[in-house]
Amino acid sequence: MCVVALVLPLALSSNARAQAPSTGSEQAAGRGAGSLPTARANAPIDLSGYWVAIISEDWRWRMITPAKGDFPSIPLNREGQRIAEAWDPAKDEAAGEQCRAYGAPGLMRGPTRLHITWQDDNTLKLETDYGMQTRVFRFGSTSAASAARTWQGVSAAQWITAAGGRGRDGAPRFGSMKSVTTQLRPGYLRKNGVPYSASTIFTEFWDVHRQANGDQLMVITNIVEDPDYLQLPWITAIHFKKEANGSKWDPTRCDARF
């Protein structure tokens, strides 16, 4: 008899996405005839809102601009090292390249706040006050090959929904976002000229952890793969704390020196 009961939770689970709470527009988008649920309706975690970086790691390399040639922890190859040791911020300024340290792989480790919103039902937008950058994450099929190279590149995103975390009967939903960013304009992993090339692939896993006191932490596991300047993937994790509002949002332009 319990065989029936064994099947029941699976059935509940398979219907979970359709039953999950969503806004009116999401319902319309998600339940129309023949249409697929939107990324927004399917979101197992809520990344939207204001988040502030907690610089509790690598402080000397993230909060301030380290000395030229100071690049421990990064598995540079010989060419990457050569370029890092030739860093000249004045040259970057003269070339209009003062945002080189604000490309996605370097920016995310910077002392920044993030403002994440839904641009549309399948596009997540991330803005930073540090360097005033904007990156969009597109869910579903997207072609990056023909896109122009930019500091923020082209980010393809997908949800990874955890087993048992699909929000059945109002239960919490669990999961992660995986994003893969390509078409990056060459920039710096660190403010002091540690380079990444146009060949870079930047993969991120986004998790949100709710604390017992209600605080929320966003932890992003990053993988920077650069066949031109790295010997191995540069793998790190960073964390942000959710803020109630944007009262501390303070946009500042790119700065090649500080």
Interacting residues with other proteins between 146 and 205 (CB under 8 A) = 160, 162-165, 168-169, 172-176, 178, 192, 205
- How far is 77 from 69, CA to CA, in rounded Å? 13
Residue among 62, 137, 149, 60 nearest 103 (CA): 149
Residue 129 and residue 255: Cα distance in Å, rounded?
13
Q: What are phi and psi of 224, to 5 degrees?
A: -105, 120
76 near other proteins, rule: CB under 8 A:
yes
Residues of span 121-150 touching other proteins by CB under 8 A: 129-130
**Binding of residue 246 to other proteins (CB under 8 A):** no
DSSP alpha helices (H): ranges in the chain?
Answer: 2-14, 16-19, 24-31, 39-42, 59-62, 78-85, 89-94, 104-107
Alpha helices in 152-208 (DSSP H): none
Please, what is the minimum distance in Å from the beta carbon of residue 76 to other proteins? 6
- The correct pick among 51, 71, 102, 229 for binding other proteins (CB under 8 A) is 71
Are 117 and 125 spatial neighbours (Cβ–Cβ below 8 Å)?
yes
Does residue 86 touch other proteins according to CB under 8 A?
no
Nearer to other proteins, 35 or 73 (CB): 73
State the nearest-atom distance from the C-beta of 120 to other proteins, in Å.
Answer: 26
Is position 56 an interface residue for other proteins (rule: CB under 8 A)?
yes
**Using CB under 8 A, which of the segments 26-34, 134-142, 148-156, 210-218 binds other proteins?**
210-218
Phi, psi for 235 (deg, rounded to 5): -115, 125
Torsion angle, alpha carbons of 223, 226, 229, 232, to 10 = 50
Closer by beta carbon to other proteins, 168 or else 185: 168
Site mask, other proteins, residues 10-29, x = CB under 8 A?
A: --x-----------------
Mapped onto helix, strand or coil, the DSSP state of residue 119 is strand
Is the backbone of residue 45 left (phi > 0), alpha (psi -120 to 50) or beta?
beta
Q: Which of residues 94, 134, 211, 227 is near other proteins by CB under 8 A? A: 211
Asked whether position 90 contacts other proteins by CB under 8 A, the answer is no
Q: Which of 27, 48, 52, 125 binds other proteins (CB under 8 A)?
A: 52
User: Site for other proteins (CB under 8 A): which residue of 98, 142, 216, 221?
Assistant: 221
Asked if 96 touches other proteins (CB under 8 A), the answer is no
